Amino acid sequence: MAITITKLAAMKAAGEKIATLTAYDSSFAHLFDDAGIDALLIGDSLGMVVQGHSSTLPVNVDDIAYHTQAVARGCKNALILADMPFMSMPSLEKTLLNAATLMRAGANMVKIEGGQWLCETIQALVERAVPVCVHMGLTPQSVHLFGGYKVQGRSAQQAADFIAQAKAVEKAGAQLLVVECVPASLGKALSEALTIPVIGIGAGAQTDGQILVMHDMLGITPGKLPKFAKNYMAQANSIPDAIGQYIQEVRQGSFPSSEHIFNE
């Protein structure tokens, strides 16, 4: 059965956890889809894990569109999200054209990085039938502004600001929120404050769902894994077994455990 935005909202309302992964090609998309993954993200993370860059910044819309087409060919049921990469939103007109490119490539929703300043953009996209997921917290496209890959929202004031901005983007029409590298308490607070699903990556176990980069989940990322990631191949007999374990632990709420979360 195809997963829709309405289905994800119903899962949140029922207290059912949402399992999400990145995907970049048809073969892995097929494996993830067969295992019962709820959503797949063609992330600009492909710049690092597929193209070998040191950040996501070199990725362009054509790159995302190419990989979205590949994922869509291997996917029958999971919701497909496509990233709007660095500087793909320089103006409202260009934003709309780039979003249309990704939707035509097979995306069911686009993901954009930022906060309350995106509200006008969100409204314009939704008015034109483009569903929107907003990415907050550690947003990789802003890595140079942050001075590196650092946990966000640690102070009480920062947490309050995050919640206010999340409510604003929800009101503007966003139907999904991804929050990355924030204290677990903030991930929980965001999930409780919003009616739309909140998907965490390094945001604790009490968000409405989880997402991992597939290379991290399969233990094939070079070097040390991020704190929030878990190598499911370490105790699996096969790739399908590892995928199944990840989905099961997300559903049960046992991933992430205390070793994978950030505190204040």
Query: pLDDT category, 145, cuts 50, 70, 90?
Result: low
Instruction: Check pLDDT > 50 for residue 146.
Output: no
Which pLDDT score is estimated for 138?
77
| Per-residue pLDDT tens over the stretch 190-204 | 999 999 999 999 999
Give percent above pLDDT 70 in the chain.
Answer: 95
Contacts (Cβ under 8 Å, ≥6 apart) of 231: 216, 217, 218, 219, 225
Annotated binding site for Mg(2+): 44, 83, 113
> Which residues participate in catalysis according to the annotation?
180
CA distance 178 to 173: 15
Which pLDDT score is estimated for 154?
78
Which pLDDT score is estimated for 155?
85
| Per-residue pLDDT tens over the stretch 75-92 | 999 999 999 999 999 999
> Does domain 5-260 correspond to CATH entry 3.40.50.9100?
no
Q: CA of 124: how far to CAs of 6, 128, 152, in Å?
A: 20, 6, 28
Mean pLDDT on 213-225? 93
CA distance 231 to 246: 9
Q: Whole-number mean pLDDT of the chain? A: 94
Which pLDDT score is estimated for 223?
85
Provide the residue ranges of all domains of the chain, joining segments of one domain with +.
5-260
Higher-pLDDT residue of 83, 143: 83
Query: pLDDT category, 209, cuts 50, 70, 90?
Result: very high
pTM: 0.95
Which pLDDT score is estimated for 247?
98
Instruction: Check pLDDT > 60 for residue 34.
Output: yes
| Per-residue pLDDT tens over the stretch 82-132 | 999 999 999 999 999 999 999 999 999 999 999 999 999 999 999 999 999
Annotated binding site: 44-45, 83, 111, 113
